[in-house]
Amino acid sequence: MTTGERRLSSAPYSSPGFSPFNLILAGAILASLLLSAWGTGFSPGAFLSPGTGRAVREFAVGLLPPNLDPAYLRSTLGYALETVEISLLGTALAVVVGFPLSLLAARRRGEETSRRAQGTLSWGARWLLYYLTRGLLNVLRGIPELVWALIFVVAVGLGPLPGVLALAAHSAGILGKLYAELFEAVDQRLVENARAAGANDVQVLAYVQVPTALPMLLSYTLFRWECNMRAATVLGFVGAGGIGTQLIYKLKLFQYQDLSTLILITLLLVTLVDLTGQLIRTRLLDTAARRHQRGKRRGVVDRVLCACGWK
């Protein structure tokens, strides 16, 4: 046993213990859970009642077998394609709106952003714009997609367009907040080095913040597309297009075999979107890793040539 190991083994073990604040916090959390269970009427025994089991069995039997008639599958293909289009276009519009809002909602750090360096007027305007943008993002993501869909159905009528606008509005609020926090989390030393080299804010964004945060930006965007894919099926319940219009129609008519087919198609679409996102992420990360390795090898070769006096 080395000296360092003996020192570590002889060191007294200190348990974390509980402070009064931690006990109060744990009690408050437990009390809130119990109150929530009481207020919602939650009871695990409800799942074991004979009536619940009988209803679940009848519904499951009604779903089987799914309607795999080729004519019916062809008729649902258009609704499935419309759902994909709604989710894809809604996500793209959310990126277009959310990205510039994230730049205004990202908290700037550094000595050059202080009130003394910027001046009181410029500093105050920047913080006012920051809080206004944050408030706008809170409003966009605070209103659920279904409520947005109802608003846009009233504004532009029934069809896929209100679904696209609803997903774009809600997702812009989510992506704008996530993008802003990713830009804030970029290593400040990289930002300061770029500013010391004479880079302005646009150059710092283009050459430091975006490349550094790009893998996570892409991951969040693709995950939001997957979420929008599922949300697009629900928006059809309020007339916003997609396969959801057929889901609610078949459910009301108790045509459970057709409903089972639509559920399977929805699961297939979500799985395809997930696989597509994984493929894009893997491709981007592998390409970035190869470029990094080439850059490291090129740096070693340059140092060797300089040491030999050949460069």
Q: Give residue-wise pLDDT tens across range 29-68.
A: 999 998 988 888 777 777 677 777 777 777 777 778 888 8
Is 94 a member of any domain? Answer: yes
Give CA–CA dist 208/216, Å, rounded. 14
Instruction: Note the pLDDT of residue 290.
Output: 67
In this predicted structure, what is the pLDDT of residue 298? Answer: 52
Over residues 136-141, the mean pLDDT reads: 94
Q: Quick one: which of 154, 169, 162 has its CA closest to 245? A: 162
Asked, for residue 93, whether it belongs to a domain, the answer is: yes
The stretch 80-86 carries a mean pLDDT of 89
For the chain, the average pLDDT equals 80
Model confidence over 3-14: pLDDT tens digits?
A: 444 444 444 444
Q: Does a structural domain hold residue 230? A: yes
Residue 209 lies in a domain: yes
Domain that holds residue 232: 83-285
| 108 part of a folded domain | yes
Which of 104-113, 207-216, 297-306 has the largest mean confidence? 207-216
Q: State residue 14's pLDDT score.
A: 47
Element (H, E) at 119: none
More confident residue, 135 or 309: 135
pLDDT at 1 over 60: no
Q: Would 156 be classed as within a structural domain? A: yes
More confident residue, 300 or 197: 197
Mean pLDDT (whole number) for 103-129: 73
For residue 180, the model assigns a pLDDT of 92
Q: 28-54 in b/e burial notation, b at 16+ Cβ within 10 A?
A: eeeeeeeeeeeeeeeeeeeeeeeeeee
136 vs 117: CA distance, rounded Å: 28
pLDDT at 305 over 50: no
Tell whether the model's pLDDT for residue 76 goes beyond 90. no
* pLDDT on residue 301: 39
pLDDT digits (tens, 9 = 90+) for 165-218: 999 999 999 999 999 999 888 888 888 888 888 778 788 888 888 888 888 888
CA distances from 202 to 50, 113, 194, 252 (A): 65, 15, 11, 54
Report d(CA 217, CA 211) in Å as an integer: 10
Q: Is the pLDDT of residue 78 over 80?
A: yes
pLDDT higher than threshold 90 for residue 101: yes
DSSP state of 310: -
CA 15 to chain centre: 38
Give pLDDT, residue 9.
47
Instruction: Answer yes or no: is pLDDT of 224 > 60.
Output: yes
Mean pLDDT calculated for residue range 121-139: 86
pLDDT at 75 over 70: yes
Residue 310 lies in a domain: no
Residue 119 has pLDDT above 80, yes or no: no
Compute the residue count for the chain: 311
Report pLDDT for 139. Answer: 94
Token pair recorded at residue 145: 């997609």
CATH number at residue 205: 1.10.3720.10
For residue 113, name the pLDDT band (cuts at 50, 70, 90): low
* Better pLDDT: 10 or 229: 229
DSSP state of 12: P
Asked if the structure places residue 292 within a domain, the reply is: no
Number of domains in the chain: 1
